[in-house]
Structures are given as structure tokens and as C-alpha cells.
Structure 1
């Protein structure tokens, strides 16, 4: 028997086996990382509505990983669970001091994956001790955290509330800008060569150094300093302080201030100056 007479039927069998209809590929079902509601309170409905509108989770029950994880490192803070007796006023405070100043469209762009409500946030020192003074807000890659979801909120003075408001906006903008959700003004980015700036020359370049431990200034820290100033001071107050020649000899603070204010008003419709009124 010739070899081809043996191989030909074998090839046909292999071809038939290869053409056998395969089972349909069923994609794996993606399970959400978090489940809402977390409890059975009236405010849980508000949290669900917020998630449905913006795609952002608000968590008052969270793990250490939820709070600390920041891609390549952990936040040097510790956070207590939110006090479920005070979540409703914490949500009201977020709306009053933060959310109401931005449009729905902007919030959809700028909000993080989750907002963590903590009764108390404290900084961890180099020696692994915990500083007693509570922190209003911190942020990471996927969240910003509010540290007043507890009894301390009701006892805050007007000055403390003003600082809290500034801290909330700073951390909100920090996570939005640092991780590319909202763009920095190109003119602000190009306005300063930070390699030329030192603590004793910062006013000549219009630079803020909010991190007291930083050896040198950087673009994002500088921007956060401007957000702090803009949202906590009216233009009139700034003109009588920061913009005075003694503090702004080269007019750089005023220049960069106007760059930020005008850019976000024109591009995103955000009135940053209106936050301090």
C-alpha cells in the first residue's frame, strides 16, 4: 500500500477534529471591589445615589489597605473607622465645604475612586509614633479621606472649619491633578524652573513649599500651595498680603495666581476665587 493512501485518510481525520466546534468563551464576571450599602441607615441611600451619579464609592467601613495603599508606598497616616452616628453630618460637611463649589461634570472628572470617611486621621512619625493632632484630610492614588466623620466635627470653631475647608480642597485637587484626572495649566508648568529655587529665594520665583520636610520645591507641591491660598483667602485679602512688594518682589506670585484662576475658569468652568467668599 502506498504511503499516500495511508496518510490521506489520517489527514482528513485530523482536519475534522480541528474543525470541531469549540465551546463559546464566556467572560469572567467582574465583581465590584466594594458593596453598597455598607449599613442600614438613612444616609446609606444618599451614599448609593452619590455612587450612581459619580461612580465614586463613599466608605465609612474600610480596611487599612483601603486607606494606606498608594501604589508604590503606604500613606504615613493611620485612620479610625468612621463613626456611624456622625456619617450624616460628615456628608453634609463635604457638600457644604467642598462639592457645592464644583459642577457635576467637573466632579465626574475629578473625583477619586473612593472617599473614605474616618472619625480621626493622625500622622505616623519616623519612630512609628502617632501624632496626637488630628488631620482633616489626606489623599492617595485612589482616594481622598475626610478625618472628621466623628464627634469632633460639631465642636470645631470657625477658624478650624476654615482650615478644614482649605485642607479638603487641597487634597481633592492633589489627587485629581497628581494622577492626571485634571490637567495643570501649561503656563503654570512652564513658569518656574524649580531646580533654581531654594527656601530663601522662593518669593522671587513665586513658589510655595508646603512640605516643611522637602529639601527642594516641586511643581505639585507649589500648585497645592496656591490652592490653599486661593480657596482660603479672598482676592482683597491676598492683595493686602501675598501680593505686596515685600512678599512678591518680582510679581511672580500674582502672575501664577492669575494663571491658575483664569485657566480653570476658562477650561473647566471652575470659579476658584468664589470658594473663599
Structure 2
């Protein structure tokens, strides 16, 4: 059983962007009217890319312009190197086409298969960019440039691993990528209003007060994170907990000092049965509204 690294998803939450649905037909950002032509090549995997576009409206691209990945509606998000120093931002390169097909397979196996076409059409952004390099530059950090699995912006999600390293992905890395892809898609959809919060969920807890590790479980919260609780962050953390954690791990008894998602459904943490009630609401809501079984995603081992 894997231990969930909550920090990874907290960091990824900074990069959430926009999505598109069947009511607001998929379209590029205003001011950047772009069109994309498929297929981009004559590889075997181009047929699958074209099929996803016809079924759900989004574009999987392994050839793209800098503006496709760095334009963030209000700012240019590319890291710039000058005199050996890098600015804040992102560094990317398009996928090696010898490995882009394997990226498409990962998307199909780790993400797309869990959602009906109607839900993918609603939640997916306009384009999914396949990269051979994806890095985040943070000049004041102890590690100034780090590899990242995903990066989201206003109308796209970009994914790393379009290189030979995809052949060396072990079970832990594969499971973490599955978790990250699903959290990214769902948080992304929430941030742009394509995924609504269940109204019944918001009625179970009081919001607006500081949530600490010592009080959060008794109040029905599963992530203190030194912040004021809001319905949006609360709902996001429940989504994250479910799609990244097997059901048996959620029900495992834990000892004092464990503030991961492990055991949040066990009475050792859920002392007032509040977490179970909210968990069931989230599960039922996604099944009813979107025909998605979130716990099936959490239970999957890659």
C-alpha cells in the first residue's frame, strides 16, 4: 500500500486552469483564436488521437507552439534563462514522437477509461500537450529547477514522460501518475466551474473557521493544512483522498500523529462519523451526476 504524498497535490493545485464542456463548446482562449489540424502525423497512435477528438472534442498534441503551453491568459509563464540564472516559470519541450504513442496509452489507461465520453467532453480542456521535458523553475528554492509530471493553464494540461524514461516507470511512479492525472483533471474542472460542488455536501460542516490538525477530523475535515476551511477546498480534498487512496487504506486504523488520508473512514479518525457521511455524499454525487466511480480510481493499482 502506498503512502500518499499530499504535498505533491498541493503544489499541483497552483497550476490549475480551465476546462470545456458540451454546453460551452470547446474553444480557445479569447484573444488567441487557434485552430489545430489532426492528424499531426502518420503514426499508429494518430488514429487514436483523432478518435478522441471526434468523440470528446479535445486535442491531444505532440507538436505545438510555445504560446500553446506558456500563455496563461494574463501572463507568459515560460522560465527565461539569462546569464546562467532562470526566472520563475516553466520549461518544456514537445514529446519525442517515438514515445508519444506510449503517452497516449498512459492517458487512456490512467485517466480516460474512468470517465464516460460525455464527462470527458465536459471536464477536459481544449488541448492535452505531450511533452518530453516539463520543469518548474523556482529561483529562491533549495532545488531551483524540478521535473514535474503535469502543468495546467487556461485551456490545456501538459504531461511529461514523452521520452525514454517512460519505459522505466515502476509501479509506484505509475500509480502516482494515475493519481496526479485524475486529481489534476477534477481540480482543473472545479476551478473553472465545469464541476459543481454538491450542495448537500456543503451543509454538513461549518466553514470560515481555522482548521488545525488536532480538530479537523472531529469537524469532518480531512486536511488541516493551516488554513481557513471553505466548501471548495473541502470538496477538493475529499476528491483527492478518494481518487488517490484504496478503500481498505481509507478504513485502516491509525495511531496518533497520522495526518495523511490513511484511515479517515475509521473511527480512530472519524470520531463523529462526519467524514463517512461526506465521503458517501461525494461518491454518490459523482455516480449520479457524471457516471464516475471515484473509488474505483482510488482502488486501481497500476
User: Shorter-chain-normalised TM-score: which range?
Assistant: 0.7 to 0.9
Q: Output the CA distance in 2 between the equivalents of 1:215 and 1:78.
A: 31
2:274 pairs with 1:252: yes
Given the alignment, which residue of 271, 291, 297 partners 1:269? Answer: 291
Kept in 2: contact 1:59–1:115 (CA 8 A):
yes
Match of residue 112 from structure 2:
99
By relative contact order (CA 8 Å, sep 6+), the higher-ranking structure is 2
Q: Output the CA distance in 1 between the equivalents of 2:142 and 2:74.
A: 22
Match of residue 226 from structure 1:
238
Q: Sort the Cα spacing of 1:206 and 1:49 in 2 relative to 1 into closer, same or farther, 3 A.
A: same
Q: Output the CA distance in 1 between the equivalents of 2:160 and 2:143.
A: 15
The structure that has the greater radius of gyration is: 1
Given the alignment, which residue of 204, 211, 218 partners 1:204? Answer: 218
Kept in 2: contact 1:122–1:130 (CA 8 A):
no
Of 266-275 and 192-201, more deviation after overlay is shown by 192-201
Q: Which runs of 4+ in 1 moved over 6 A?
A: none
User: What 5-or-longer segments of structure 2 have no aligned partner?
Assistant: 1-32, 78-88, 253-262
Given the alignment, which residue of 119, 132, 135 partners 1:119? Answer: 132
Q: Output the CA distance in 2 between the equivalents of 1:83 and 1:176.
A: 28
Structure with greater helix share of residues:
1
* 1:6-21 paired onto structure 2 within 5 Å: none
Match of residue 137 from structure 1:
150
2:89 pairs with 1:86: no
Question: Number of aligned pairs?
Answer: 246
Shift of 1:131: 4.7
**What value does the CA root-mean-square deviation take over the aligned residues?**
2.7
Shift of 1:163: 0.8
User: What 5-or-longer segments of structure 1 have no aligned partner?
Assistant: 1-30
Q: Sort the Cα spacing of 1:224 and 1:152 in 2 relative to 1 into closer, same or farther, 3 A.
A: farther
Structure-1-length-normalised TM-score: 0.77
Kept in 2: contact 1:122–1:131 (CA 8 A):
no
Q: Output the CA distance in 2 between the equivalents of 1:189 and 1:140.
A: 27
Structure-2-length-normalised TM-score: 0.71
Kept in 2: contact 1:209–1:217 (CA 8 A):
no
